[in-house]
Amino acid sequence: MNRTSRRGFLQAAGAATMGAALPAPAPLKISVFSKHLHFLGWQAMAEAAKEIGFDGVDLTMRKGGHVEPERAEQDLPKAAEAIRKAGLELPMITAGIVDAETPHVEAMLRAMQAVGVKRYRWGGFKWDEARPLPAQLDGFRARAARLADLNRKYDLCAMYHTHSGAEVGASFWDLWLILKDLDPTRVSVNLDVAHAVIEGGLGAWVRSVQLLAPLARGVAIKDFAWERNARGEWRPQWRPLGEGMVDFKRFFPLLRAANFNGPLQLHYEYPLGGADKGAPTITIDKSLVFDAMKRDLTRLRGWLK
């Protein structure tokens, strides 16, 4: 092939490649946070989640949850069976685990391994206001490393949930410093976008998401707006999706840029007769809860498209 024809061939091949349709990323699957269905038992909860249109369930396995930690090995298999029988996935557990010293931690990890759940939500490190931050970060890193070792034993990945306020992880940089040198297949992040915006305000939340999104193996979705409470204090108030301050059109491309493919969890923290708080008994008809869930789920799916 002479130089001229070779150049033409390469240009044509390049044009064909650029014009070829790239494969679309797999749709992100959406789970309901089962905290908001605590008023239903395993089977009824799973059937309701399926009827509403969710892909899966983020099951609570913590005090007051759908599975109590001390009964993990007895009850998690039953709850998992009910969820899967309804045609749903069980991609993750929200576990009452803070570190490797948490009571019943190995029983919970064994139970998750036994039912084939690979990811669980953890968290809850607290700052000591009387001690220097650098020394505390070293301590948190050591605790996370011990949990990583335990997760390796059971082939699991823990996802630290980001809150706002005084808890470790609210600033995002602190959690990055704790986790950046650890194995993200064993200890990672469950990124809550609303809490990120509460802390990040006008635009710093974007940098926070860019920092932690590569470590995120799960993402929690909800919305909020700042309002004055009865005492005149400004506080974040939870809102249905699209009625608050979270810029989801800006957020989802950030996830895509980080090649995120973990489970999305839809939260319902705004007033829903107690379902918002995980109450075992609610004060409104359950159909109103289901309608709210369908509305937010439909909106979220539309954004993802």
Three-state SS for the chain is CCHHHHHHHHHHHHHHHHHCCCCCCCCCCEEEEHHHHCCCCHHHHHHHHHHHCCCEEEEEECCCCCCCHHHHHHHHHHHHHHHHHCCCEEEEEEECCCCCCCCCHHHHHHHHHHHCCCEEEECCCECCCCCCHHHHHHHHHHHHHHHHHHHHHHCCEEEEECCCCCECCCCCHHHHHHHCCCCCCCEEEEEEHHHHHHHHCCCHHHHHHHHHHHHEEEEEECEEEEEECCCCCEEEEEECCCCCCCCHHHHHHHHHHCCCCCCEEECCCCCCCCHHHCCCCCCCCHHHHHHHHHHHHHHHHHHHC
At residue 220, the pLDDT reads 98
Contact 232, 280 (CB under 8 A): no
At residue 25, the pLDDT reads 66
pLDDT digits (tens, 9 = 90+) for 147-163: 999 999 999 999 999 99
At residue 296, the pLDDT reads 98
Contact 94, 33 (CB under 8 A): yes
The 10 Å Cβ neighbour count of residue 27 is 10
pLDDT digits (tens, 9 = 90+) for 167-186: 999 999 999 999 999 999 99
- Report the alpha-carbon distance of residue 255 to residue 245 in Å, rounded: 18
Partners of 228 in beta bridges: 234
From the number of C-beta atoms within 10 Å of its C-beta (0-12, 13-18, 19+), residue 20 rates as exposed
pLDDT digits (tens, 9 = 90+) for 202-228: 899 999 999 999 999 999 999 999 999
By DSSP bridging, strand 234-239 and strand 119-122 are unpaired
pLDDT digits (tens, 9 = 90+) for 75-104: 999 999 999 999 999 999 999 999 999 999
- Report the alpha-carbon distance of residue 87 to residue 12 in Å, rounded: 48
Contact 248, 303 (CB under 8 A): yes
Residue type, 74: Q
Q: How confident is the model at residue 21 (pLDDT cuts 50, 70, 90)?
A: low
Query: What's the mean pLDDT in 188-214?
Result: 96
Sign of torsion, CA 191 195 201 202? positive
